[in-house]
A and B are shown apart, each in its own frame.
Chain A
Amino acid sequence: DGGITQSPKYLFRKEGQNVTLSCEQNLNHDAMYWYRQDPGQGLRLIYYSQIVNDFQKGDIAEGYSVSREKKESFPLTVTSAQKNPTAFYLCASSIDRGHYGYTFGSGTRLTVV
């Protein structure tokens, strides 16, 4: 079955630690996206990549980093510079510049402990 796989489902981060969220898709989609969701805030774009080896900052990129070395993979690193990382993170992908919208992964819930 084609789809997007995010792992882990739950992640706990200590203060000052970097953590990496995985996102893998087998849909052969060109573009991939990372969103952050907080209660009452909707979805906010962190980073996006429309082709391999290229990515762009979204609206709230500070404290995050990404890479796009393979078409299938778009990992997100939450660095210690992100002061309030507790949130639900959603990865998405699209074909044809999002003409038909995005396909979303199941999400990773990150909590700072």
Chain B
Amino acid sequence: ELKVEQNPLFLSMQEGKNYTIYCNYSTTSDRLYWYRQDPGKSLESLFVLLSNGAVKQEGRLMASLDTKARLSTLHITAAVHDLSATYFCAVRGSNYKLTFGKGTLLTVNP
């Protein structure tokens, strides 16, 4: 059974600081996805990582994938308040279903 673990689950940051969210998964997969969710809203796709060593960047967010270590990271650079949200990683299993982590609630404080 595929398990996906994110840490930390809660992250409180100051504006301007850098931090990394980690996503570990238990079985082989070469497809990993990052989503953002604002309170009471749906999930918005951020990044699709399709191969080992893939790195994607959008604004202050950068995601990477190491399939050998079964690890993805979401790095936040110089955080701003607008980045406050819950971030989910998801992994596609052998049956093509996505399994989600529990999410990381990010709060960026002035």
A residues apposed to B, CB below 8 Å: 31, 33, 35, 40-43, 45, 48, 50, 58, 88, 90, 92, 97-107, 109
Contacts and interface: CB of A to CB of B under 8 A. Distances in A.
Given A88-B40, A99-B92, A107-B42, 8 more contacts: A43-B100, A58-B97, A92-B43, A97-B96, A101-B35, A101-B90, A104-B42, A106-B41
A90 B43 contact: yes
A101 B33 contact: yes
Contacts of A43: 43, 88, 100
Contacts of B100: 35, 42-43
B102 interface: yes
Contacts, number: 56
A58 B95 CA distance: 12
Contact of B42 (A48, A50, A90, A101): A90
